[in-house]
Structure 1
Amino acid sequence: MTTLACIIRPSVPPARIVPLARAVEAAGIDEIWLWEDCFQTGGISTAGVILAATERVRVGIGVLPTPLRNVALTAMEIATIEGMFPGRLIPGIGHGVQPWMAQVGAKAASPLTLMREYSTTLRALLAGERVTTSGRYVRLDDVALDWPPAGAVPVPVAATGPKSLRLAGEVGDGVVLEGSVGLPGLPAVLEHLAAGRAAAGREDDAFPVIQFVSGGTGPDAAARLRAELTAWGRDVPDDTAMAGYAVWGDAGAIADGVRRFGTAGADTVAIQPTEDDPDLERLAAVLGEAQALLRQA
């Protein structure tokens, strides 16, 4: 069954995050996903607070920008949360939005090289290994975590272009796909991922595909979604075109939309509200009803 998740966007004020996360969990949804956008809420801090304020929901971070953090610090943060809340954190990593990385003086000349070095080193540290490495970007001298996770912590990688997607297939424990991929782009994405996995001999490894999909409910949902998708450069002149990038309507319609993405190859469909959604708690409740319908199928 395709997992239905709810995204809490970083534009949500920090004071609202815990009540909203509790509403998502109460609705019966299994996963909450976060963005980390400059210069809004922090991914690690937000994830930790949500996990402490809830009982069972898993929290995915989609994603932590690798140029912003030393890999040892990222490993420390992930291992600490995993030690407190085993199996409930899904820490995704990505290149970061390049203009923002330049704005903070952290832009890498070769994001692909950075990702290869970073992801390989992060996985080794989380596995309890002692690491010495001297790469172009990642340099560690005899580093090991005092409190490595007791079990494996999958680290998915965000990717968009063909080279990044192939690299995600090689070094990631899954992939996080932003909403621009949609149903039209998913077949090519899966081909690039498969090529990367084959090159690394990882065809048999678990590799979840996490797809962000715009969503909403209520009488104005379609209009809000169309306006936001159009502003982001999507060509959605009618409902048929918009259905390639969004799900909306009542619980049944949303469940049908999630099934479409699941059939196309997404393992997790993370519903992304519009920034102007007037009632996020109502959306969480409808997503919970859609989740119940998916479980019945």
Structure 2
Amino acid sequence: MGIDASEGDTADRAAGFEAHRGRLRAIAYRMLGSVADADDAVQETWLRFAGSDTGAVRNPAGWLTTVLSRICLDMLRARASRREEPWEIHLPDPVVSAVDRDDPEHQAVLADSVALALLVVLDTLSPSERLAFVLHDLFGVPFAQIGPMLDRSPAAAKQLASRARNRVRANPPVSNVDPGRQRAMAEAFLAAARDGDLARLMAVLDGDVVLRADTGDGPWGPSEVVRGAEAVAGRVTRFSGLARLARPVVVNGAPGYLTVAQGRPFSLLTVVVRDDRIVEIDVLADPDRLDLLLDGRVEE
């Protein structure tokens, strides 16, 4: 049986869209900091693409980026309007992978990863600042294309990106040491945490270290931000038993640890190392959210 013209057109559109899906998803994840929301935004972009007359579109990649970006902008604005608690204690969705995986799928995940700490900084930006920065600085979209998405001039879009860039530079979200040293520092931190050794913890923590704990309704108690080496070390020593259950993982390309108890993910921790000190610790300790993110793919 042959394929009629409409079926052929749909298949061609789907194939054309799939060629751009990876990039669109990468943009959406950085824009939204949520795997589920990113997938929703990409799906909505596909629906609009499938239902539009795109025969005259000369630049499908640009058309799709514009549509996706406007969808993400609407989602960010809706999120901001209903926000009821400080956003700094809500961690973005992490991308978690095994340490020892060396297959092509794993390498693709690492190549597409973005530091969780960068997503935390991006969450402090306004929706317009975030869109301008992500599109221009991370994906090279020109301001001439970004301005109309925001109903602003290219010059105004450039200003928004500059303000966002200054915020990112003030809170460097990535490590400045090699991956091996990052993992060694993370292991030293975990060993001290397992032993409840306050002095050893203080030795690996930067004086201005920040710990963010996003617990949702999880077992860590209220979500909180703890600042300063002494306060953070004291907080960590209270969970030495939990630290003993942690296993190494890669979290958005950085060293991290997943704790599993009774077959269920319990907490996920990642660190940022700078100048041989841990400057940031992010903990997602909401089992329900971890269940969704990991899709039950954990082993004792």
TM over 0.5: no
TM-score range, shorter chain: under 0.3
Tell me which of the two structures has the higher relative contact order, counting C-alpha pairs closer than 8 angstroms and 6 or more residues apart: 1
> Max radius of gyration: which structure?
2
Name the structure with the higher helix share.
2
Provide the TM-score with structure 1 as the length reference. Answer: 0.27
Provide the TM-score with structure 2 as the length reference. Answer: 0.26
